Chains A and B, each alone.
Chain A
């Protein structure tokens, strides 16, 4: 069965960067896009971007364009999301999610809580 296991919670100071990992198993990693979605406390879902693990191509939401980077390591079936210049309003639960055929998000990681606080 498909499993997406994310790295543990992080606490960062404003201005720092955070890198969250998402290890995939149970399917061919390079066959499906991986998306990143975040959810601030008590708020809705916000799409950050996606990566094509096969070729490494990315698409980012305009809001994060200048401070997010999504990468992957196909040798260990792991996707990464790095967010820089962190602010307090980046405090959120960050999810990776494997897409189906065209972007419906079929399988989700457990989420990684990133807390930004001085």
Chain B
């Protein structure tokens, strides 16, 4: 089973800053089937990025995904107040299982 490790566990930042979140896979994702989700307290997760770099419908362009193989990154170019949340990466594909990373919390400094 592929394990996803997210780092750091918590980031303390201010609005306007650039954010880089990491997700490392224990095996190569040859198909780049890697997604990112945002979850705010009391809400269901929201899909941000799929296929490692494609933005989901309605997602602002300050969110971008990159990477391939075992190393993937979610970047928020300029942090907005509504972006403080927990972010999860997910490995998916036609062959289960699906796995999630442990999450990175982006909190206000």
Count how many pairs of residues, one from A and one from B, have CB atoms less than 8 Å apart in the complex.
Answer: 65
Q: Interface with A: B10-18, B19-27, B43-51, B77-85, which one?
A: B43-51
The answer to whether A44 and B98 touch (CB under 8 A), given A102-B33, A102-B93, A104-B90, is: no
Which of A's residues lie within 8 Å of B, judged by CB? 35, 37, 44-47, 49-50, 59, 61-62, 95, 97, 99-100, 102-106, 108-111
Given contact pairs A45-B88, A102-B33, A103-B92, A108 touches B97 in the complex (Cβ within 8 A):
no
Q: Please determine whether A45 and B100 come into contact, CB atoms closer than 8 angstroms.
A: yes
Total contacting residues, chain B, CB less than 8 A: 25
Docked-complex contact A106 and B56, CB < 8 angstroms: yes
Return the 4 tightest CB-CB contacts between A and B, nearest first: A103-B92, A104-B50, A108-B44, A59-B96
Partner of B97, one of A62, A99, A100, A110: A62
Closest-by-CB residue of A relative to B96 is A59
Q: B37, B51, B97: which contacts A59 (Cβ < 8 A)?
A: B97
Tell me the interface secondary structure of chain A in the complex: strand
